[in-house]
A and B are shown apart, each in its own frame.
Chain A
Amino acid sequence: MFGDYSIGDLGAIFAMQGFAGLILFSVYVLMALGLAIIFGQMGVINMAHGEFMILGAYVTWMTSNAFQHFLPALFPGYFFVAMALAFIASGSLGMLVEWAMIRRLYKRPLDTLLATWGLSLILQQAYRSVFGAREVGVELPDWMMGSWQVTDAIQIPINGMFVMCLTILITIVVAYVLFLSRWGKQVRAVVQNRVMAGAVGINTEKVDRYTFGLGCGIAGVAGSAFTMIGSTGPTAGQLYIVDTFLVVVFGGAASLLGTIASAFTISQAQSTMEFFLSGSMAKVLTLLAIVAILMLRPQGLFALKVRK
Chain B
Amino acid sequence: MINSRFFNRSELIGFVSLLLLLVVILPLALDIFRLNLVAKYLTYSFVAIGLVLCWGYGGILSLGQGVFFGLGGYCMAMFLKLEASSVANTKIQSTPGIPDFMDWNQLTQLPFFWKPFQSFPFALAAIILVPAVFAFIIGAAMFKRRVGGVYFAIITQAIAAIMTILIVGQQGYTGGINGITDLRTLHGWDIRTDHAKYILYFVEVLFLFAAILVAQFIRLTKLGRILVAMREQEDRVRFSGYSVANFKIFAFCAAAVFAAVGGALFTLEVGFMSPSFVGIVPSIEMVIYTAVGGRLSIFGAVYGTILVNFAKTSLSETFPQLWLFGLGALFIAVVLAFPNGLAGIWGDYVQPRIDRLLASRTKKPSNGGLVADGAPAE
Contacts and interface: CB of A to CB of B under 8 A. Distances in A.
Contacts of A291: 155, 158-159, 162
A128 B328 CA distance: 14
B88 interface: no
Interface in A124-182: 124-126, 128-129
Interface stretch (B22-30, B189-197, B279-287, B301-309): B279-287
Given A114-B287, A284-B162, A287-B162, A249 B151 contact: yes
Nearest to B144: A295
B149 interface: yes
Given A45-B150, A124-B324, A287-B162, A117 B155 contact: no
A114 B331 contact: yes
Given A45-B150, A249-B151, A294-B155, A118 B339 contact: no
A118 B332 contact: yes
A122 interface: yes
Q: Is the interface of A mostly helix, strand, loop or mixed?
A: helix
B360 to A, nearest CB: 34
A245 B335 contact: no
A118 B153 contact: no
A294 B336 CA distance: 31
A237 to B, nearest CB: 12
B325 A249 contact: no
Contact of A242 (B157, B291, B324): B157
Given A114-B287, A249-B154, A298-B145, A104 B336 contact: yes
Contacts of B146: 298
A246 B154 contact: yes
A257 interface: no
Contact of B324 (A101, A121, A290): A121
A280 interface: yes
A118 B324 CA distance: 9
B107 interface: no
Given A105-B335, A291-B162, A125 B324 contact: yes
B158 A114 contact: no
A283 B165 contact: yes
Contacts of A290: 158
Nearest to B288: A114
Most chain A CB within a 10 A radius of its CB, from B151, B155, B335, B336: B335
A288 interface: yes
Contacts of B169: 278, 280-281, 284
Contacts of B324: 121-122, 124-125
A109 B328 contact: no
B329 A118 contact: yes
Interface residues of B, number: 42
Most chain A CB within a 10 A radius of its CB, from B141, B150, B325, B339: B150
A128 B325 CA distance: 11
Interface string A233-266: 0000010001001100100000000000000000
Interface string A71-101: 0000000000000000000000000000001
B342 to A, nearest CB: 15
Contact of A101 (B154, B166, B336): B336
B157 A114 contact: no
B3 interface: no
Contacts of B288: 114, 117
A172 B159 CA distance: 33
B158 A108 contact: no
A111 B291 CA distance: 10
B237 interface: no
Contacts of B162: 284, 287-288, 291
A115 interface: yes
A295 B150 CA distance: 14
B151 A122 contact: no
23 contacts: A43-B150, A101-B332, A110-B61, A110-B153, A113-B63, A114-B287, A114-B288, A114-B334, A114-B335, A117-B288, A118-B328, A118-B331, A119-B328, A122-B324, A125-B325, A242-B157, A242-B161, A245-B158, A284-B166, A287-B158, A294-B155, A296-B145, A298-B151
Q: What 10 pairs between A and B have smallest CB-CB spacing?
A: A118-B331, A280-B169, A122-B328, A121-B328, A125-B324, A295-B141, A118-B328, A298-B147, A115-B335, A118-B332
Interface of B: 61, 63, 141-142, 145-147, 149-151, 153-155, 157-159, 161-162, 165-166, 168-169, 280-281, 284, 287-288, 291, 321, 324-325, 327-332, 334-336, 339, 378
Interface of A: 43, 45, 101, 104-105, 107-111, 113-115, 117-122, 124-126, 128-129, 238, 242, 245-246, 249, 278, 280-281, 283-284, 287-288, 290-291, 294-296, 298
